[in-house]
Amino acid sequence: MALSRSNWRSTAEVIVIPIAALFVALVLFGIFCAFLGKNPFAIYGAIYKTAFGNWRSFQGTLLRAAPLMLTSLCTALPARLGLMIIGNEGALVMGGIGATIAGLLLSYGSLLPSPDQVQNLLGLPPLSVQLGMALGGIVFGGIWIAIVGALRHYRAVNETISSLLMNYIAIAFLNHLVEGPMKDPASLNKPSSFPIPEAYRLGNIDSTRIHYGLIYGIIACLIAYFLIQHTTFGFAARTAGGNVKAARIAGLPVGKLTVIICFLAGSCAGLAGMVEVAAVQGQANASLVAGYGYAGILVAFVARYNPLAAIVVATLLGGIINSGGALQRSFNMPDATVLVFQGLVFLVVLYSESLYGRLKIFKEPEVKATPPAASTAVPV
């Protein structure tokens, strides 16, 4: 079906403005690099080569894209309801804790297994342990953000501030657990929980370095898109997000929608925490706080809260994160330089939000009203 003129303009607006914002961020980052005495074009070339230059580099990019896809949904889904949730990092951490607890209980029968329990696992099939870990991550992360939704609806607590503050609570809770009740005595320099047995961790996709967490991320984005765009539940959420009063008048359960959407959003970030534990870290420790949650907010913004677009944006941002080490080695720049780039993108994208509906090129030309024809009737 051909696009009408108005649809064509609105579609072009959604595509052009984010691309222009990224271009402006690139220019600003280039100025920053030039100020440090580095060649911006050489740095851009190194970023591209490290992120997408060959298959091995691209695998590293996909490894970092997997948690970004999941954490971006923690912001993208509630945004359809008009909520701005930025508690992605906390939900990821809570998901990692939940997955670790489930994994240890299903593997050893205890969070602090004795040497005998370590040598004699319960013997459950690996798939059932992995599903249990996924369920633990989903439940812990989902409940964490559902609390934010409940506070927003039933107590009118600002969801942005509460979700931000809950990040710190989750990180402090993680530190308390791995340094106290769940600490493995063998983890001296880096307090950690007991490790998940190797047999129960997520493996890699055949003949690659990419773990199955990438499949989790892609499937979650596809399900989220279908849920929002092609179901009655998604239509109700979008209606409530457009006008809460109208939704209430129409009889929609706004409170339940808010809590459920927040639970789903948190469960996606919690699943990212499970992936980090089961496929990367192998145990819960401070390395769970790697910034994937905060980067997921940026992915959601650039993708305009579209789960399908989040797959592409997460891959691009994963490439930028993957190139951090190369910038340090090749240009003697801090590894955190990529964070400067992320910050510039974040600021520019935020500013670009104010341009939607204001640029003349994307507006329908006004149709001048034709003055009524003069009456030719002769008065009697």
pLDDT band at 325 (very low <50, low <70, confident <90, very high): confident
Higher pLDDT pick, 375 / 192 = 192
Mean pLDDT of 107-132: 90
- Could you give the count of Cα atoms lying within 13 Å of 258 in the half-sphere of its Cβ? 24
Spatial neighbors of 262 by CB under 8 A, at least 6 apart, are 78, 83, 85, 145, 146, 148, 149, 150, 152
Cα 126 from Cα 121, distance rounded (Å): 11
Q: Is the pLDDT of residue 367 over 70?
A: no
Mean pLDDT of 162-173: 96
Q: Three-state SS across 253-315?
A: CHHHHHHHHHHHHHHHHHHHHHHHHHHHHCCCEHHHCCCHHHHHHHHHHHCCCCHHHHHHHHH
> What's the pLDDT tens digit per position in 287-297?
999 889 999 99
Mean pLDDT of 47-74: 91
Q: Is the pLDDT of residue 378 over 60?
A: no
Cα first-last separation, the chain: 56
Name the amino acid, one letter, at 265: A
Note whether 133 and 274 are within 8 A (CB). yes
pLDDT band at 8 (very low <50, low <70, confident <90, very high): confident
Residue 118, judged by CB atoms within 10 A of its CB (0-12, 13-18, 19+), counts as middle
pLDDT of residue 50: 87
- Could you give the count of Cα atoms lying within 13 Å of 312 in the half-sphere of its Cβ? 11
Question: Considering the entire predicted model, what is its pTM?
Answer: 0.88
CA distances from 137 to 99, 268, 282, 283 (A): 5, 9, 14, 13
Q: Is the pLDDT of residue 2 over 60?
A: no
Give 192's strand partners: 285
Mean model confidence pLDDT for the chain = 88
pLDDT band at 380 (very low <50, low <70, confident <90, very high): very low
pLDDT of residue 1: 47
Task: Let me know the angle formed at the C-alpha of 292 by 290 and 296, rounded to the nearest 5 degrees.
Answer: 160
Q: Is the pLDDT of residue 115 over 80?
A: yes
Least confident of 179-183, 186-190, 253-257: 186-190
pLDDT band at 377 (very low <50, low <70, confident <90, very high): low
Q: Is the pLDDT of residue 345 over 90?
A: no
Q: Is the dihedral of CA 312, 313, 315, 316 positive or negative?
A: positive
Q: Is the pLDDT of residue 185 over 50?
A: yes
CA distances from 135 to 198, 268, 272, 286 (A): 19, 11, 12, 22
What 3-state DSSP class applies to 111? coil
Mean pLDDT of 218-237: 94
Q: Is the pLDDT of residue 220 over 50?
A: yes
Mean pLDDT of 119-142: 93
- Could you give the count of Cα atoms lying within 13 Å of 145 in the half-sphere of its Cβ? 38
- What secondary structure does DSSP assign to 130-154, as a single string? HHHHHHHHHHHHHHHHHHHHHHHHH
pLDDT of residue 205: 87
pLDDT of residue 346: 84
> What's the pLDDT tens digit per position in 270-319?
999 999 999 999 999 999 998 899 999 999 988 889 999 999 999 999 98
